[in-house]
């Protein structure tokens, strides 16, 4: 039995290591001073064996003890064996790793926090560029924070919260800031401050030929990395974020209902949808149906509480149990949502972005009845909306789903590989119900290898822009995974 329980699931479900060491990277971030693109090696050079200095990069193969450690991913369904793992310590090391892959003609896969739902940060036959040791953090006087892309969320919170600063991002402790931001990124603070990628001001990125680029301002490459940058055309090594004043408290409200049948679960869901419309932007809500048990979470961090109390009171009437947590200091409160930190067996995937309950009304009876009659299926809906739906952010990113205020996901967790087949079969049945009902928009950070027409589902109208960036930065398709953008 893995070391998690039902309560851990709820935490893991509701949103969403490494020792807290901040390396000071003798790196090249300071070269980026301009707006737009600055490239250090513009012209394509014939592949040659780069000099691999231990201060920049260490290359491991299967026989190495370090390889075994570095090959582990959060999802135990995917324990793959790349030909090489390049552990990189500097941007130069990442550039060398890509040059090495070009020289050896190997495909390159990128790994930061290792939390990809579908194992997209490993491979069986190429080279993994692992940036997880790149944990530099550097503040500027305007409260911007530049981080190495090896940082995980817990490390960012540990750095920011004592300074009373926050970044709108996810809640699970060991999710990587890189993968999360490059696909969008949302969490408790997003309805007020936008997606994580909306706070991204500048990046350092290594392209498919090993060139180092610094992107900021109106750069099309920076824009492409805000929602479309996951392992597609470059390896981001540094991210500069705007941060915000942290709220002084955080409060959670919970309603629970047990032994649900379809009719009652649907009524609770309709009520949840109705009242989320009047929540303030400081609030977040999740509807988590775990078999026959429902948990509704509402959080808020401001005294503007009317919409929250209206929702709580309406749900309390039709739930079995309802509790209002105390106003807690933010650092303590966030820790309760850190979730499971060791690798587990699971299948998670987006179950669609919705504009309203009416979009799923025609299939929701079927979905709920399958979830409550199957072992280990969890159906969750989270609120987006608020300032995520900003015209200014739309212009500066390729996240195509801003007008959808609801993001749903399907989840299943198990303990032994022998349980996998039945879990996946039930999972697929629910997905088919949504697909047959016309649900097509999906969040890139909740991928599924089985999504049909996944490029359009993730990137919508921005797909041609992303293909142009792919062509520009990685014309040989060096950087790839099973759902990376094709040239
Ligand atoms: C337990 C859990 C909780 C989660 N909670 C949330 C949440 O609250 N909010 C939310 O928005 N999402 C959440 N997610 C989804 C999460 O955003 C994605 O799984 C994300 O891609 C993970 O990033 P990573 O760096 O940890 O993963 P990785 O597996 O390292 O990478 C994920 C993808 O990004 C690419 N990539 C990674 N690093 C780089 C880089 N430096 N440059 C270019 N490409 C790169 C990889 O190639 C891969 O395709 C959660 C996931 C899990 C498993």
Ranges of each domain in the chain? 6-14+249-459, 47-130, 137-246
| For range 6-21, the mean pLDDT | 33
With the CA atoms of 280, 175, 247 and 329 taken in that order, what torsion angle do they form, in degrees rounded to the nearest 10?
A: 120
Residues with CB under 6 A from ligand 1: 12, 15-16, 74, 109-117, 120-121, 131, 149, 170-172, 175-176, 178-180, 182-183, 185-187, 229-231, 235-236, 339, 445, 481
The architecture in CATH of the region 137-246 reads 2-Layer Sandwich (3.30)
Tokens standing for residue 468: 């142009």
Q: What is the pLDDT of residue 40?
A: 57
Percent of the chain beyond pLDDT 70? 91
Q: Bridge partners of 79?
A: none
Helix, strand, coil % in the chain, rounded to nearest 5: 35, 25, 45
Tokens standing for residue 61: 């193969």
Tokens standing for residue 464: 């041609």
* Distance from Cα 316 to the centre of ligand 1, integer Å: 35
* Distance from Cα 366 to the centre of ligand 1, integer Å: 31
Could you tell me how many residues make up the chain?
487
| For range 88-113, the mean pLDDT | 98
Alpha helices in 213-342 (DSSP H): 220-224, 262-276, 306-318, 330-335
Q: Which residues contact 457 (CB under 8 A, 6 or more apart)?
A: 440, 441, 442, 451
| Strands 244-245 and 165-166, sheet pairing | antiparallel
Query: Which DSSP category does 199 fall into?
Result: G
Query: Cβ distance 129 to 145 under 8 Å?
Result: no
Containing 178, the helix (H) or strand (E) segment is: helix 177-182
Q: What is the pLDDT of residue 432?
A: 97
Looking from the CA of residue 484, the nearest atom of ligand 1 is 49
Q: Is the pLDDT of residue 354 over 50?
A: yes
| Strands 36-39 and 212-216, sheet pairing | antiparallel
- How far apart, in whole angstroms, are the C-alpha atoms of residue 18 and residue 225? 25
* Distance from Cα 274 to the centre of ligand 1, integer Å: 31
Question: Please, what sign has the CA dihedral across residues 386, 388, 393, 394?
Answer: negative
Query: Cβ distance 98 to 141 under 8 Å?
Result: no
Query: CATH topology for 6-14+249-459?
Result: Vanillyl-alcohol Oxidase; Chain A, domain 3 (3.40.462)
Q: Is the pLDDT of residue 26 over 60?
A: no
The architecture in CATH of the region 47-130 reads 2-Layer Sandwich (3.30)
Are 6-14+249-459 and 137-246 in the same CATH fold?
no
The pLDDT-based confidence of 36 (bands split at 50, 70, 90) is low
Please write the tens of the pLDDT for every residue from 417-428: 999 999 999 999
Of 11 and 86, more confident: 86
CA distances (Å), origin 72, targets 68, 110, 119, 171, 411: 7, 14, 10, 21, 21
Q: What is the pLDDT of residue 46?
A: 73
Alpha helices in 324-453 (DSSP H): 330-335, 361-373, 391-395, 420-436
Burial class (CB in 10 A: 0-12, 13-18, 19+), 470: buried
The pLDDT-based confidence of 23 (bands split at 50, 70, 90) is very low
Report the mean per-residue pLDDT for the chain: 92
Tokens standing for residue 393: 């952010």
Looking from the CA of residue 117, the nearest atom of ligand 1 is 19
CA distances (Å), origin 380, targets 22, 191, 344, 367, 427: 35, 18, 19, 12, 13
Tokens standing for residue 103: 């020289």
User: Residue written as tokens 């949502």?
Assistant: 337
Looking from the CA of residue 205, the nearest atom of ligand 1 is 42
Q: Is the pLDDT of residue 327 over 60?
A: yes
| Shortest-distance Cα residue to atom 11 of ligand 1 | 185
- How far apart, in whole angstroms, are the C-alpha atoms of residue 277 and residue 273? 7
Closest CA to 87 of 73, 102, 106, 69: 69
Tokens standing for residue 309: 């109390």
- How far apart, in whole angstroms, are the C-alpha atoms of residue 94 and residue 59? 11
- How far apart, in whole angstroms, are the C-alpha atoms of residue 453 and residue 112? 26
| Shortest-distance Cα residue to atom 13 of ligand 1 | 16
Backbone φ and ψ for 377, nearest 5 degrees, come out as -100, 140
Closest CA to 183 of 430, 449, 1, 445: 445
Q: What is the pLDDT of residue 22?
A: 24
Query: Cβ distance 22 to 156 under 8 Å?
Result: no
Looking from the CA of residue 75, the nearest atom of ligand 1 is 53
The pLDDT-based confidence of 41 (bands split at 50, 70, 90) is low
Ligand 1 probe mutation, 93, 116, 227, 397, most atoms within 8 A of CB: 116
Please write the tens of the pLDDT for every residue from 271-283: 999 999 999 999 9
Q: Is the pLDDT of residue 42 over 80?
A: no
- How far apart, in whole angstroms, are the C-alpha atoms of residue 401 and residue 77? 29
Question: Please, what sign has the CA dihedral across residues 317, 320, 324, 328?
Answer: negative
Tokens standing for residue 424: 């996946």
Backbone φ and ψ for 222, nearest 5 degrees, come out as -60, -45
The pLDDT-based confidence of 47 (bands split at 50, 70, 90) is confident
Ligand 1 probe mutation, 176, 344, 346, most atoms within 8 A of CB: 176
* Distance from Cα 151 to the centre of ligand 1, integer Å: 12
* Distance from Cα 270 to the centre of ligand 1, integer Å: 31
Q: Is the pLDDT of residue 15 over 50?
A: no
The pLDDT-based confidence of 45 (bands split at 50, 70, 90) is low
Helices 262-276, 361-373: inter-axial angle, 10-degree rounding: 130
- How far apart, in whole angstroms, are the C-alpha atoms of residue 305 and residue 247? 14
């Amino acid at each position: 039995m893995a070391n998690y329980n039902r309560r851990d699931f709820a935490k893991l479900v509701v949103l969403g290591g490494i020792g807290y060491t901040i390396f000071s990277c003798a790196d090249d971030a300071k070269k980026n001073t301009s707006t737009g693109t600055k490239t250090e090696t513009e012209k394509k050079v014939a592949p040659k064996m780069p000099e691999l200095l231990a201060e920049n990069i260490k290359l491991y193969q299967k026989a190495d003890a370090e390889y075994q450690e570095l090959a582990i991913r959060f999802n135990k369904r995917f324990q793959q064996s790349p030909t090489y793992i390049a552990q990189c310590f500097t941007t130069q090391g990442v550039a060398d790793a890509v040059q090495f892959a070009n020289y050896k003609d190997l495909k390159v896969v990128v790994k930061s926090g290792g939390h990809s739902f579908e194992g997209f940060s490993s491979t069986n036959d190429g080279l993994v560029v692992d940036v997880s040791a790149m944990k530099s953090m550097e503040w500027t006087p305007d409260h911007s924070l530049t981080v190495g892309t090896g940082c995980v969320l817990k490390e960012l919170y540990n750095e920011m919260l004592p300074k009373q600063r926050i970044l709108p991002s996810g809640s699970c402790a060991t999710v990587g800031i890189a993968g999360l931001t490059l696909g969008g990124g949302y969490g408790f603070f997003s309805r007020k401050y936008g997606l994580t990628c909306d706070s991204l001001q500048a990046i350092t990125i290594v392209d498919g030929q090993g060139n180092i680029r610094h992107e900021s301002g109106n750069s099309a490459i920076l824009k492409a990395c805000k929602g479309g940058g996951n392992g597609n055309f470059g390896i981001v090594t540094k991210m500069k974020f705007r941060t915000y004043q942290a709220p002084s408290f955080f409060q959670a409200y919970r309603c629970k209902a047990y032994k649900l049948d379809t009719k009652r679960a649907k009524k609770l869901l309709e009520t949840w949808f109705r009242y989320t419309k009047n929540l303030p932007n400081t609030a977040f809500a999740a509807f988590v149906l775990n078999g026959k048990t429902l948990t509704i979470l509402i959080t808020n961090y401001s005294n503007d509480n009317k919409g929250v109390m209206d929702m709580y009171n309406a749900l309390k009437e039709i739930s079995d149990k309802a509790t209002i947590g105390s106003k807690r200091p933010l650092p303590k409160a966030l820790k309760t949502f850190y979730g499971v930190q060791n690798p587990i067996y699971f299948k998670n995937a987006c179950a669609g972005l919705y504009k309203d309950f009416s979009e799923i009304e025609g299939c929701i009876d079927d979905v709920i009845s399958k979830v409550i009659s199957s072992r280990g299926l969890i159906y969750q809906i989270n609120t987006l909306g608020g300032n995520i739906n900003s015209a200014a952010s739309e212009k500066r990113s390729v996240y195509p789903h801003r007008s959808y205020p609801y993001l749903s996901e399907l989840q299943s967790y198990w303990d032994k590989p022998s349980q996998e087949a039945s879990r996946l079969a039930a999972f697929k049945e629910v997905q088919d119900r949504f697909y047959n009902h016309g649900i097509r928009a999906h969040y890139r950070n909740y991928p599924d290898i089985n999504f049909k027409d996944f490029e359009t589902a993730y990137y919508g109208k921005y797909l041609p822009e992303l293909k142009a960036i792919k062509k520009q930065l990685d014309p040989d398709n060096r950087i790839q995974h099973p759902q990376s953008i094709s040239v």
